[in-house]
Amino acid sequence: MTTSTTTRPVDTIAEALATEGAPAAEFAHLNPRDLVIEANVRGDESVDLNPGFIGSIRQYGVLMPILVVRQADGTLHVRAGKRRTLGAVAADAPTVPARIIDAGPGAERLVQQIIENDQRKDFTEAERVAGYAQMALDFGMSAGQIAGRLGRTRREVTNALRVAKSEPARQAVAAGLTIDQAATIAAFEDHPEIVERLTGIALNDPDDLAHEAQAERDDLATARAHAAARARMIEDLTGDGITILDAGPTSDDTQMRHLSHLRQDDGRTRINPEDHEACPGHAAYIGTPYWSDEPVTHYVCTDYQAYGHKIPSYEQHTITASGGGMTDEQKAERRRIIDGNKAWRSATTVRREWLATFAARKSAPKGAAAMLGYVVTHRADDLIRASREGHRMARDLLGLNAQAYGGRQAISDALDAAAPGRQQVIALTVALAAIEDATDDHTWRHPVSHVARYLTTIESWGYTLAAIEREAITGRQPTTDEPAPAAEPDVDEPDAGNDATLTDDEPQDVSDTDDLADGATDDLDLGEYEDQD
């Protein structure tokens, strides 16, 4: 074989190894039949030797050198260029051009293969996850170390490692989900029905995934809180020796009544639970009131007539546990309000996470000046209220962790230190935060023009509205066949600093400030993958 030594800069693989120094390389023309194919991060089933590819090699030979590693025993292993090598064998090519380096640590093999494959459009997310996981498990590399070696974000690598630990998430990636989407789903691996639903949303309506996942997160958190509260109530009732019933009185029950609907034998004096404890009919059950889904202890008498209690004359009609004789329409409205409030709270979490990302921009989007002017001229009261509180929400969105006292100065200092484009973003964030901070659980029920303008504006900048947010704009629930108005997002990268610019030639930021996919960290333990710095 013919060889030559070079010290010139090499490709992106060498750039990834720059911190440790790239090995000296030899160039040679090698017999492809003498080469050993290394185990590849892509697995053994990803080589497509179609007739056109083989014919091209037969006519022109292999044009791009393969990467070969010389082992200690002298054997030559193909690290990058498996398809070209096998294609050369199939085409009966006598030699292939090769760049030869000496063997290094096993982690370098993975780094080189991932970077090589990363430049191919058919390198799948599942293969990427497998590669990151192998670097973590086989070589003990943290997410930050892997990200630094590969020039990827720490968020992406951390999410990939989460996916690798979750069977449902690995299946989701194999089905076509992105790493971030699968990491979101990994948080629900103990709930197969949620995994199935969110996977379908990610495949068919990916823009809705953040809102739907947050709603599921909130529902699970609420269920845990309610279960814990119910357990405490049962423990208290048991400790007090009170009989616990499975349910309260029904509409046709002629014996059991709530204590709140009973009077003592004079027909006037109310009965409180403490005074009723001596009654043989004293009991309780845990239910939910008509205004909330939170568990509440209800006290009853199991046979009020037998034990000398009376119903006031003005309450002789049947009183039920489910809402005092509410009509079906009233019950439906009650359910709509409870569900709407929950949906708004979930949407608020997603919206504010989006605002925090938006607040990291380097420059303001189209329409920023108009929105800023609108807030100053039409929502001055919101700005004044926010100012009195030291612009707390704006500081949170901008990552300025000052206390309320002197909070305005923190924003002023950030403005002074920022480049002109960034200054516009900071000012716009202050304005948006003033409106956002004035919203609450009932905003969706009372549509107003300034909230509608606020929501439609951030939608035009790339935010995906939840159904409940659209209701806050239109004042009515959207129908299933009513398409959402298309909004052309205004794209900008988050700002890593006042004047920082990230180009394709520079490694991406892998600092500790990288966040995980929306909600992917809930109730999960990074374990051995978590950085110790």
Least confident of 50-59, 265-274, 494-503: 494-503
- pTM passes above 0.85: no
Domain boundary among 283, 301, 319: 301
- Shared domain check, 453 and 381: yes
Q: Is 205 part of any domain? A: no
Residue 328, pLDDT > 90, answer no
- Shared domain check, 286 and 349: no
Report the mean per-residue pLDDT for the chain: 79
Q: How confident is the model at residue 14 (pLDDT cuts 50, 70, 90)?
A: very low
Provide the sign of the torsion angle of the four alpha carbons 420, 426, 431, 432, taken in this order.
positive
Task: Give the mean model confidence (pLDDT) for residues 36-59.
Answer: 76
Q: How confident is the model at residue 402 (pLDDT cuts 50, 70, 90)?
A: low
- Shared domain check, 400 and 286: no
Q: Is 522 part of any domain? A: no
Place of tokens 């292939």: 96
pLDDT given for residue 220 in this prediction: 94
Q: How confident is the model at residue 212 (pLDDT cuts 50, 70, 90)?
A: very high
- Shared domain check, 288 and 392: no
Give the residue, 475 or 155, on which the prediction is more confident. 155
- Shared domain check, 348 and 445: yes
pLDDT given for residue 119 in this prediction: 54
Structural domain count of the chain:
3
pLDDT tens digits, residue range 419-473?
999 999 999 999 999 999 999 999 999 999 999 999 999 999 999 999 999 999 9
Task: Give the mean model confidence (pLDDT) for residues 253-262.
Answer: 91
Tokens coding 88: 């050369």
What span, in angstroms and rounded, lies between the C-alpha atoms of 483 and 292? 32
- Shared domain check, 349 and 292: no
What span, in angstroms and rounded, lies between the C-alpha atoms of 321 and 257? 9
pLDDT given for residue 156 in this prediction: 86
pLDDT tens digits, residue range 96-146?
999 887 766 555 666 666 665 565 555 678 888 887 877 776 566 778 877
Give the residue, 57 or 511, on which the prediction is more confident. 57
Residue 286: strand pairing partners: 297
Q: How confident is the model at residue 519 (pLDDT cuts 50, 70, 90)?
A: very low
pLDDT given for residue 46 in this prediction: 61
- Shared domain check, 259 and 381: no
Q: Is 429 part of any domain? A: yes
Task: Give the mean model confidence (pLDDT) for residues 172-195.
Answer: 91
Query: Which value, in Å, is the radius of gyration of the alpha carbons in the chain?
Result: 32
What span, in angstroms and rounded, lies between the C-alpha atoms of 310 and 389? 53
Least confident of 12-21, 362-371, 458-467: 12-21
- Half-sphere CA count of 343, side-chain side, radius 13 A: 19
**Run of H or E residues at 350:** helix 328-358
Task: Give the mean model confidence (pLDDT) for residues 350-375.
Answer: 96
CB 363 within 8 A of CB 424: yes
Q: Is 424 part of any domain? A: yes
pLDDT given for residue 477 in this prediction: 59
Residue 325, pLDDT > 70, answer no
Domain limits at 351? 338-474
pLDDT given for residue 152 in this prediction: 79
What span, in angstroms and rounded, lies between the C-alpha atoms of 168 and 138? 22
Residue 508, pLDDT > 50, answer no
Provide the sign of the torsion angle of the four alpha carbons 320, 324, 325, 328, taken in this order.
negative
Domain boundary among 53, 69, 104: 104
**Run of H or E residues at 371:** helix 368-378
Q: How confident is the model at residue 353 (pLDDT cuts 50, 70, 90)?
A: very high
Task: Give the mean model confidence (pLDDT) for residues 243-253.
Answer: 90
Q: How confident is the model at residue 258 (pLDDT cuts 50, 70, 90)?
A: very high
- Shared domain check, 362 and 296: no
Give the residue, 21 or 171, on which the prediction is more confident. 171
Q: Is 138 part of any domain? A: no
- Shared domain check, 465 and 345: yes
Hey, which of 56-60, 136-140, 475-479 has the most confident mean pLDDT? 56-60
Q: Is 312 part of any domain? A: no
- Shared domain check, 459 and 359: yes
CB 314 within 8 A of CB 340: no
- Shared domain check, 288 and 357: no
pLDDT given for residue 85 in this prediction: 93
What span, in angstroms and rounded, lies between the C-alpha atoms of 132 and 144? 11
Residue 307, pLDDT > 70, answer yes
Residue 334, pLDDT > 70, answer yes
Q: Is 122 part of any domain? A: no
Helix orientation angle between 209-239 and 328-358, rounded to the nearest 10 degrees: 120
Least confident of 46-55, 66-75, 112-121, 499-508: 499-508
- Shared domain check, 351 and 290: no
Residue 189, pLDDT > 60, answer yes
Q: How confident is the model at residue 303 (pLDDT cuts 50, 70, 90)?
A: very high
Q: How confident is the model at residue 7 (pLDDT cuts 50, 70, 90)?
A: very low
pLDDT given for residue 523 in this prediction: 35
Domain boundary among 426, 448, 474: 474
* Percentages of the chain per state (helix, strand, coil), in multiples of 5: 50, 10, 40
CB 135 within 8 A of CB 160: no
Task: Give the mean model confidence (pLDDT) for residues 295-306.
Answer: 94
Distance of CA 315 to the CA centre of its chain: 51
- DSSP classification of residue 243: E
Give the residue, 511 or 4, on which the prediction is more confident. 4
Residue 487, pLDDT > 90, answer no
Q: Is 331 part of any domain? A: no
Hey, which of 152-161, 186-195, 318-327 has the most confident mean pLDDT? 186-195
CATH number at residue 81: 3.90.1530.10
Longest dimension (CA), the chain: 113
Give the residue, 6 or 184, on which the prediction is more confident. 184
pLDDT given for residue 48 in this prediction: 76
